[in-house]
Each structure stands twice: as C-alpha cells, then as structure tokens.
Structure 1
Amino acid sequence: MFRPPLQALLSEKIGNRWVKLQEIRCRMNQQLELCFDDTTEWIEPSSMKPDDARFMLNQLSDFSLYALENELREGYITIAGGHRIGLSGKVNTESGSVKALKHISSFNIRIAKAVPGAAAKIMPSLYKFDGSCRHTLVIGPPQSGKTTILRDIIRSLSSGWQQYPALKTAVVDERSEIGGSISGIPQHDLGKRTDIMDACPKAEGLMMLIRSMSPDVIAADEIGSERDVQALLEALHAGVKIVCSVHGDSLDDIRLRPSLRPLFQHNVFERIIILKKGRSPGVVQALFDAVSPAGAGR
C-alpha cells in the first residue's frame, strides 16, 4: 500500500508491535502518525507527499478510482482483512449532497483485529436459562471496540460457549469489517455455525438471511437508519434473536435518536452493553437490562 521508502520506515518503527497498533494516520506534508493501544508516536523523518497519496489510491483501487466511487462518497474504503481506511479531502457536492471526494489529503488506516475471548466477561449475561440468546445492543463511541466485541459475541454464540449450545448465527456485514471476507469467505473466526452476507446493505441482508438461512440469531454492525430498524423489527417478529451495535456515548443518547426510537418503544433489547472509549478497546462501562441499569462488569 505504501511506496517502498515509507514502507521501510513503517516496518522499522512498528517492529513487533503490530498487535498493539490501532491506526496509521497519513496527512499530506505531515509526519506519519502511529496510534497504539498505549501511546501515540510519529515517524521521523517522514511525510506523505502527493506521489505517496497517488500510489496508495492506485493500490487501493487497482488503478481504477471509478471502481471505488461509492466508497469514496462514503469517506472510507474497507480492504481485505476488514481494515477500514478513512479518507478526507476536497468534497464535491450536488444539490446539497456529497457527489465525490477528490484531492484526498488524509488517510486513516484502522487496523482490524480479531480478539478471541474479548467478550468472555459479558457472555454469561447474553444467555437465557433455556440456552437461547437475549436480544442484545452494543453501544460505544468510535474506537471503543464495538466491532471487536460484536465479532467475538458472534464467534461464541456460533461455536457454543461453556455449557450453552452452538446457535445458528447469521451476519450482515455491510462494510466487510466483521468477517473481513475475501470472495465471501470470512477471514476472521466467526464460529462454526455462522452464515455471512458480505458487502450487503443491512436492511436487505437481514431479510435475505431470515428467508434463506433460518438463523437462531442475526447480527449486524452499526445500525442507524429507519430501514435498518424496520428490518430488525421484522426479524423480531420472525422469532429471530437480534445482536447489533450502534455508535453512541450513552443509552440516553441512543434513545433520543428518532430512527432508533421504535426499538425502545417495543422494548426490543433485553441486554444493553455500553463500551468505554479508551486505549484498550472493548472495555465494558456498564450493562443494562430491559428495565434498569446494572453495575459495570455484571
């Protein structure tokens, strides 16, 4: 992805610390920034030049930026392994909407990492006495580990956890971040009974999986639109358990969003997990049940 000079500098600076690396941030004419779990560092001497940016875009698009038109409009690209590359630069608009992102000046490479066992402490609270899964919502701000936790919940439900049986689990992976799929095959371990719909809009994917795969549980990352919510309610009426995540800082923040209000009006969620933003992703700040808050770590 990087031109050889920058690639060599990165390899030397990171060394054997890839497991702790969260982001590589590249800004035009600025030093490369490395964000680790416990520190932030800059690579000296280094800076991203226009030739470096063009090289990265050509590598990401296989020399065809047109093929990434939709992704550029969204402001990010997901690559093999589930790594997300955020982009910023000059925006072209049409009728008040983003038409294209051009003259890209910043890249934020967010490293996707599977962490088996990340959800171990919360798994007991996700099961009912009969071994079925509770309708579950994971809430957290950016970089709080929502996808990491959700991925491990999926793996645990699908493979069976302790005395609980393995459940048929379906995943709608709209951004290809949960499974990091290549040609539809997950590169991350999502468990032995998981079926995935990769790179598919959530609303459509949810209904497709319910009709075709008869899941016990269906999971989706970063819900938010009214169409997502309606599809989740349809899954609920079909008797399928729901596990999903959403951007937010608190339960009150989520409850106030108009698009998500129907989920709370119907008391859909039986378990709500609030994640804390910090250096270590996946830290649980609090657990809520359908009625009242529970102490963190319950």
Structure 2
Amino acid sequence: MDKREELIKIFSKDIREILKQVTVDFEQVQEIRLRVHAPLLMICNNREYYITRGGNLSMRAEEAYLVTREALKETLDYMSSYSLYAFEEEIKQGFITIQGGHRIGIAGKTITDGHGIRSMKFISFINVRLSHQVKGCAEAVLPYLYDRDMIFHTLIISPPRCGKTTLLRDIIRQVSNGSVEHAGLTIGVIDERSEIGACYQGIPQNELGIRTDILDCCPKAQGMMMLIRTMSPQVIAVDEIGSREDLEAIEYVMNCGCKLVATVHGSSIEDIKQKPVLRKMVLEKWFERYVILNNRGKVGNIGEIYDSRGCRLYPVGGECF
C-alpha cells in the first residue's frame, strides 16, 4: 500500500473521495488540516493550498471544500478505529499517532482537573502531519559530526518545516547501524511527541537502527534521566529542547559521559542566544557542533555547520560567531 492509499483510508468518505482526485505526490505533502466550517487545507513543499471538492489545489479560499462537523467526526472515528478512548493518554498531549507513524494533532475543549489536562471533547480541529522517512538525508552532515568512533554533542537549529526531525531521524538510524568507517553506537531516543520513531502500539514505524531504544510519549527531561539510568546509551537523541527542565537534564547527560544530539526551533546561532535557557548552552560551549538548516531546496538542507568555538566548518571559511 502506497502512502496515498494508506492515508486516504483514515478520512471521512467525502474527504476520501476528494483526496483520491488530488494529483500531487503524497511524499511531498507535509500536512492536511481540517477545521469545522473552514476550508480543507494541504501543506505541500512548504506551500499552503486550498483543496476543492473536485480535488484541485487552489490559492482561492472561496473555491475550497468546507469541512463539516459530520466529516470531521467521521474522520476521528476512522483514525481511532471507533475507539478514541484507547488514545486517552495521547489525547492529553493533543495528538494521537496512527499506523504508518502519522501524527494527528487535535484541538477542542480541554477537560482539566487539579493535576492538569485530563481529556478533550468537542474536537473541532485536526492536523494530519505526515510521517516521512528520507533515508540517506544525513549523508552530507555526518562527516562533520564524528570524533573518531564517537560523535560530537550536536544541536540542529531549524525554522519550522525545514526537516529537522527528518534529519535527526536519519542521523539516529545511521549512527545506530554503524558503517565501514564507524562502529554502531547504542542510542536512546526520547520521543515525547511520537514524531521521531512514530511508534504505533509500541513498535516504531520509522527505522531508527539496530542499536536504538525508544521512550515513546515521555517528557524529555524525565526520559533522559530514565535512559541514562536503565539503558546505558552512548548517545541520547531528543527533539525540540528549550525548557529549563531540559537544560538540567542535558547537563546531567553530558556529565555522565553520554553524547547528545538535539534539535531546536531557530534560524541562527544568534537567534538561539536570544533565548534565556539556550543562551547558557551556547556561551558555555556545551555543544561541539551546530547544524543550521534552511528551506532552500530539499528537506533537511544544510545551511551552515559550526564548531563549539563558533567557527564555520561548512561552507568552508568565514568568521567565528
């Protein structure tokens, strides 16, 4: 079953018939958004399109198919196999992960208690984020990340939709498997939002290598501590760091002699230095490599690579930051 067929079956019958007519390559589709009484939207190659009832992509909102409450509810039923309660723990975090590793973001009325969000009802907004595994996309960056048979502490900096998670995923896979030049390393992945491994019923839908252990739907800070204590990883990989709790856990990981590969939203080193929590990491040279992505060309396109001193390694030359 190809990606289009795999995805189409999770939508309501009306939307399914529309998507069958869309002519784009679903390998290039990043998101499909449903909002009650609003246009059906598709994000493809970082561009937003309205989807018409005839399955055409348009730039005009008035031509779009309007999502009905019935279509959205039917879509939720298909996505959850009519058992939304089975995803109760994930719903607390605002998403569910379905077979194929696709993450379904949801929003509506939250139900809270004294301990935080307990559940959600009147779900009226759905964001289907398609899982893409681009094997080999880390080939260009890996030579800059190795220090003999170990890798450097690495921070991947990227604006939204530039492929930071896709790149991180392939780095994990290749470092875990090893190669002729480098032995494979044991990697622990904390996959707080089920985006890296995209686990479905505990089984990763994306290939992350033969020496990789995953903590799925686990808070990053707690997960880093747990893996260090229980799984003896040589490398820890996490997506989207930024909280003060993350900072403390990262310091613990590094002091334990474990290497860290992480991602963060941003457009440059200077951008990261403006964030109070991350500024400390940059100024104290916690990371030995900074990989900065941009949205030019393919997913995971490398803009620049710097070392801990701020000297640019790629492209060659240039002043230190």
Same fold (TM over 0.5): yes
Check 1:74–1:193 CA distance in 2 against 1; reply closer, same or farther (3 A cut).
Answer: closer
1:58-110 deviation per Cα after TM superposition (whole angstroms, max 9, x unaligned) = 34455565665665564443334332223345678899x98876544432211
Counterpart of 1:204 in 2: which secondary structure? Answer: helix
1:28 is aligned to 36
Determine whether 1:37 maps to 2:55. Answer: no
Write the letter of the residue equivalent to 1:117: G
Matched, 1:226 2:268: no
Distance apart, 1:211 and its partner CA:
1.5
2:266 corresponds to which residue? 248
Equivalent residue for 1:6, pick from 2, 5, 15: 15
Structure 2 residue 101 is the aligned partner of structure 1 residue 82: yes
Identity %: 41
Unaligned segments of structure 2, at least 5 residues: 1-9, 54-64, 317-321
More divergent stretch after superposition (134-143 vs 272-281): 272-281
CA shift for structure 1 position 53:
1.5
Q: What does residue 231 of structure 2 align with?
A: 213
Alpha-carbon distance, 1:38 to partner: 7.0
- What TM-score do the two structures reach when normalised by structure 2? 0.81
Provide the rounded CA distance (Å) in 2 between the counterparts of 1:107 and 1:189: 26
Deviations 1:146-168 (A, max 9, x none): 11000000011111144111111
Instruction: Evaluate the alpha carbon distance shift between residue 19 and residue 190 of structure 1 in structure 2; reply closer, same or farther with a 3 A threshold.
Output: same
- Aligned-residue RMSD, C-alpha: 2.7
Q: Which residue of 1 aligns with 2:75?
A: 56
Q: Which moved more, 1:72-81 or 1:144-153?
A: 72-81
Q: For residues 210-263 of structure 1, give each alpha carbon's deviation from its aligned partner in whole angstroms, at most 9, with x where no partner exists.
A: 122211111111112111111111110110010011112221222222222342
Deviates most, 277-286 or 132-141? 277-286
Cα 1:133–1:106 shift into 2, 3 Å: same
- SS of structure 1 residue aligned to 2:172: helix
The structure, 1 or 2, with the larger RCO (C-alpha pairs under 8 Å, 6+ apart) is 1
Inter-partner Cα distance in structure 2 for 1:105 and 1:189: 33
User: Separation in 1 of the partners of 2:27 and 2:100?
Assistant: 14
1:258 to 1:98, Cα distance in 2 relative to 1, 3 A: farther
User: Where does residue 154 of structure 1 map in the other structure?
Assistant: 172
2:61 counterpart residue number? none
TM-superposed CA distance for 1:184, in Å, is 2.2
Q: TM-score, normalised by structure 1?
A: 0.87
**Which residue pairs with 2:128 in the alignment?**
109
Q: After alignment, is 133-142 or 50-59 more displaced?
A: 50-59
Cα 1:295–1:13, aligned 2, differ >3 Å: closer, same or farther?
same
